Amino acid sequence: SQKIEQNSEALNIQEGKTATLTCNYTNYSPAYLQWYRQDPGRGPVFLLLIRENEKEKRKERLKVTFDTTLKQSLFHITASQPADSATYLCALDEDAGNMLTFGGGTRLMVKP
């Protein structure tokens, strides 16, 4: 069966450290992978998109890697801040049709 797995346990880190979140998938062949941030009571907000032929993408303090052999994406936030505390969702797009399939999300807590 198809699965997208993100760590359901909250990730607690100290301000200034690098947060690394994992997205593993099974029985998908995504053409694209996207990461979103979601705050309580709000809709998800797009952060980064990476294509299947890209290994890494960066945007300011954010970095995403995509390993189609391992079937895994890693999402890094460097120099983390309390304002980065949120739930982070990965989403797969198999055919570039934008019918995204989301993982369950990982809650990040950055402590001052």
Applying CB under 8 A, the residues found at the interface with other proteins are: 4, 6, 8, 31-32, 34, 36, 41-46, 49, 51, 89, 91, 93, 96, 98-105
Q: CB of residue 26 vs other proteins: minimum separation in angstroms? A: 15
Distance CA 106, CA 104 (A): 7
| Shortest distance (Å) from residue 79 CB to other proteins | 24
Q: Is 49 exposed, middle or buried (0-12, 13-18, 19+ CB in 10 A)?
A: middle
Question: Of the two residues 13 and 49, which places its CB atom closer to other proteins in the complex?
Answer: 49
Rank residues 19 and 91 by Cβ distance to other proteins and give the closer one.
Answer: 91
- Cβ proximity to other proteins, 22 vs 101, nearer residue: 101
At residue 84, φ and ψ (nearest 5 deg) are -80, -10
- In the complex, the smallest distance separating the C-beta of residue 96 from other proteins, rounded to whole angstroms, is 5
